[in-house]
Structure 1
Amino acid sequence: MDLNAVRTFVAVADAGQFQKAAVDLALTQQAVSKRVATLERDIGVRLLTRTPRGAELTIDGQAFLSHARTLLQAEERARASVRPGSRALRVDVVGRRASLAGHLRDFHRAHPGIALDVVTLPGSAEAIAAVRDGVIDATFRAVTMPGQHIPDGIEFTPVHDEPIHLFTGPAHPFARAAAVTPAQLAGHRIWMPGNVPGAEWTAYYDALAADFGLAIEATGPNFGVEALIDTIAASETLATFLGTQTPLVWPAGYDMRLIPLRDPTPVYPHSILWHADNPHPALTALRAYLASVHHDPPDGEIWTPAWARRATNGFSGPH
C-alpha cells in the first residue's frame, strides 16, 4: 500500500476539501485527486465522495480512516527507530561481564536520557564490519590483533588498559601470594575454555603465553563463568586469568583469590571504534564520557601484545 496515498487520504479527510489538503501537502489538487483515486483502486472501495461543500467520507472511508492513521503512525515509529538522535545508540561489547560493559552502565547512569542498545557480536571482524556498515554505532575491541584490518573511515582511540589478575581457588600454590610475575606461571595450568580460535581475547592470551612461556589450556566445553568458578574453586592446580574489573559473584565458602600480576603487569587494551561519518549525537557524548573517566595505570612495567602497542603508537585519530 502506497503510504503517500494513505497520507493524502487522511489529509483530505481532516481538511474536508481536496483543495485545502493540496495546500497542506504542497501538492496540486490534481495530484491529490490522483493519489486518492489510486488508493481507492488498490483497495477496491470508494473512500471519499465529492460534494458541493468539499469531500465527505463514505462508510468504507470512515471504517478505513482509523487504520490509515495507524499505518502512518507505524511509519513514523519505523523511521524514528533508525533516525540518529531518536533511536537508541547501538554499542557492541566483547561480553556483558567485561569491564567496558560496566563503563557503559556508568555512562547510562550519568546520561539516563540516552537510550542504549548493548549487543555482543561474535568477533572483531563482525563488529568492525557492523560499524563500517552502520549496523552499530561503536564497538569496544582490542586493536589491531593479527590479521585484523581497519577499513577506511573507521576511527578508534584507546580508552582503558585493564590489568589482568590470576584467579585461583584457596588450595592453589599461589593462593596466598601477594603478587605473581607472569614468568612464575610457567609450568602451571592456566585454564581458559572460552578461548576460541580467531577471537581477539584468544590472540591476546596467545601472545602472553608466547612471551612468558606459559601453557594456556582451552580444553573442554565452555559452560560459562559459573561453571569455571566451580572448577577453579575445587582445584589445587587450575587457575585462570580475569580482568580486574570483571564483575563476579561466588558462594561465600569458595574463598576465591584474585592475585595481581607484576613485573610486568599484563593489561588488556580496550579501544572504542566508530565510523567518522556517524552522526548520532549520543556517540559524541559517549566518547566524551570515556575520555573523562580516569584510570590510574598500574605501578611498574606493563605488558601488552606487540600488535596492540603498534596500534596505540600509530594512532593519530581524534581523542
Structure 2
Amino acid sequence: MDPRNHTDVSEFILLGLTQDPELQPLLFGVFLSLYLVTVLGNLLIILAVISDPHLHTPMYFFLSHLSLGDICLSTTTIPKMLVNIQAQNQHISYTGCLTQICFVLVFIGFENCLLAAMAYDRYVAICHPLMYTVIMNPRLCVQLILLSLLLSIVDALLHSLMVLRLSFCTNRKVPHFFCELAQVIKLACSDTLINNFVIFVMFSLFGGLPLSGIIYSYAQIVSSVLQMPSAGGRYKSFSTCGSHLSVVSLFYATGVSVYINSAVAGSSRKAAAASVMYTVVPQMMNPFIYSLRNRDMKGAFRKLIRRITLL
C-alpha cells in the first residue's frame, strides 16, 4: 500500500435509500416528519427535566443527556439527506463525509455508554437503596457523562483518522443515506485490513463492555427484586426499570439486526435501509417510551404544556 496520506477524490456521492425519482418526495416527507418528531419529543424531555424540581435526580439527569444525544445523532444524518433530496444533489465533500462519520460514531458511542450508566443507576437504586444518594451524587453523575463523552470522542477520532490513511480512486458512490464508516471503507482502493481490525476490536470493546455492564446490573436487580417479600414492592422496583430496559432492548436489538442483515443479505442498499432502524427509530421512540411508561414524566409534561399554553 502507498504509505502517503492522501485521497484521490474530493467528494463522495450518497446514493440514499432509493434512486427512484417518484419516491423522493415521499422519502422527504417521511424523514422530515421523523426528524421533527425526534427533535420535538426529545426537546420536551429535556425541558420537562429542567423545569420540574421533582425530576432533578440522577435517572432523569442521564435521561436528559440521552435525549440531547438523540437530537444530535438525528441532526448529523437526516438534514443532509433532506437537503440532498430537495436540491437533487447527492454529493458530499470528502471533509464533510469524514466529519459525518466522526459525529455519528461520537453520538452512537455516547448513547451506548450512557445506557450503561443508567443501568448502574438503577442497580444502585434497587440493590443499595440506603446508599443511593451517597453513591449517585452529582459529582459522580457528571463524571459518568464526561467519561462517556470522552470515550466516544476517542473512539470516533480513532476511526476517522484511520480513514485518512486510505486512498480512494474512481468509485465514489456510497450506497447509503449518510457516510457510514463500513460503507466508506469498502470504497477504498488501498489495503483496509488494519481499518477492519480496528473496527472489530473497538466494536467488541465499546459494544461488549457496556452491554456486559448492563446485563450484570440487571442480573443483580432481578436477584434483589425476587428476594423482596412484597409483591407490590417487586412490581414497583421492576416498573422503575421498565422504560430503561425498553430503550436498551430497542437500541441493541436494532443495532445487532443491522449488522446481521449486512452480513447475511450482502446487499449494501438493504443494509442502508436497515440502518434506519438504529440511527432514526430508537431516537424517535425513546421519548414515547419514557413518557408513556413513566408517571413522573407524564406529570412533568402536563405541567410544561400548561406553562407553554399560558405564555
* Range class of TM-score, shorter chain: under 0.3
Per residue, is there more helix in 1 or in 2? 2
What TM-score, normalized by structure 2, do the two folds share?
Answer: 0.24
Q: Which has the larger radius of gyration?
A: 1
Name the structure with the higher strand share.
Answer: 1
Structure with higher RCO (Cα < 8 A, 6+ apart):
2
